[in-house]
Amino acid sequence: MNDPADQNTVTTDTFRRIRRIFEEALERPEGRRRAFVENACAGHATLLREVNRMLAAEGQPDPLLDGIASAPPSSSAPEEGRFPAGTVLAGRYRILGLLGKGGMGEVYRAHDLILNQTVALKFLSPAHISEAALIRFRNEVRIARQVSHPNVCRVYDLGMVEGLHFLSMEYIDGEDLASLLRRIGRLPQDKAVEFTRKICAGLSAAHERGVLHRDLKPANIMIDGRGQVRITDFGLAALAVEIPLSDLRSGTPAYMSPEQKAGKDVTTRSDIYSLGLVLHEMFTGKARRGTQSSPGEIVKDLDPAIERLILRCLEEDPRRRPQTALNVAMALPGADPIAAALAAGETPSPEMVAASGSNEALPPKTAIALLAGIAAGLVALCLLTPKLHMLSQLPLEHPPEVLAEKAREIARSLGYTERAADAAQGFDYDSGHVAYMEKKISGMEAWRRTLASPPSPVSFWYRQSRFRLEALDLNNLGGPQIVTATNPPTVFPGMVSARLDLDGGLLQFRAVPDTEERAPARPPASQGMPWSALFAAAHLDQAQFAATEPRTPLPLGADTRVAWTGAYRNHADLPVRVEAATAHGQPVSFEILWPWSKAERAPTPPAPPLVFRVFQAAIFLAFAIACLVARYNWKTGRGDMRGSLRLTVFFTVAWFATVGLATRFAGAGEIGGLLWAAIGDAVILAVSYLAIEPWVRRQWPQAMITWSRVLEGRWRDPAVSRDVLVGLVWAVAAGLYFLLRTYVDIRLGDAPAWDTKILGPSLQPNLVSARMVLAGIFSALRIGVVFPLFLFSLIVFLWMLVRKRSLGGVMVAALLVAVQSAGATHWVDWLFSAGGVAVFIYTMQRFGVFVAMVYFATVNLIAASLLTSDLTAWYGFSSMIAVVFISALALAAFRLSLGERPLFEVKPG
Q: Which residues are identified as catalytic? A: 215
CA atoms of 261 and 258, how far apart (whole Å):
5
CA atoms of 507 and 252, how far apart (whole Å):
89
What number of H helices and E strands is found in the chain? 30, 17
For residue 241, the tally of other CB atoms under 10 A from its CB is 12
3-state secondary structure of 122: strand
- Under DSSP, the state recorded for 607 is P
CA atoms of 749 and 828, how far apart (whole Å):
12
CA atoms of 486 and 426, how far apart (whole Å):
11
CA atoms of 714 and 643, how far apart (whole Å):
12
CA atoms of 774 and 885, how far apart (whole Å):
10
CA atoms of 763 and 765, how far apart (whole Å):
7
HSE value, Cβ hemisphere, 13 Å, CA-based, for 405: 4
CA atoms of 858 and 851, how far apart (whole Å):
11
- Under DSSP, the state recorded for 319 is G
What is the length of the chain? 909
Report yes or no: 16 and 174 within 8 Å, Cβ to Cβ. no
- Supply φ then ψ for residue 491, to 5 degrees: -130, -5
Report yes or no: 576 and 541 within 8 Å, Cβ to Cβ. no
- Under DSSP, the state recorded for 762 is B
CA atoms of 903 and 895, how far apart (whole Å):
9
- CA nearest to 399, candidates 500, 495, 534, 485: 500
- Under DSSP, the state recorded for 194 is H
Report yes or no: 512 and 492 within 8 Å, Cβ to Cβ. yes
CA atoms of 777 and 514, how far apart (whole Å):
41
The CA angle 259-260-264, to the nearest 5 degrees, is: 60
Task: Collect all residues with Cβ–Cβ distance below 8 Å to 299 and sequence separation of at least 6.
Answer: 186, 283, 284, 285
Helix (H), strand (E) at residue 834: helix 827-847
3-state secondary structure of 503: coil
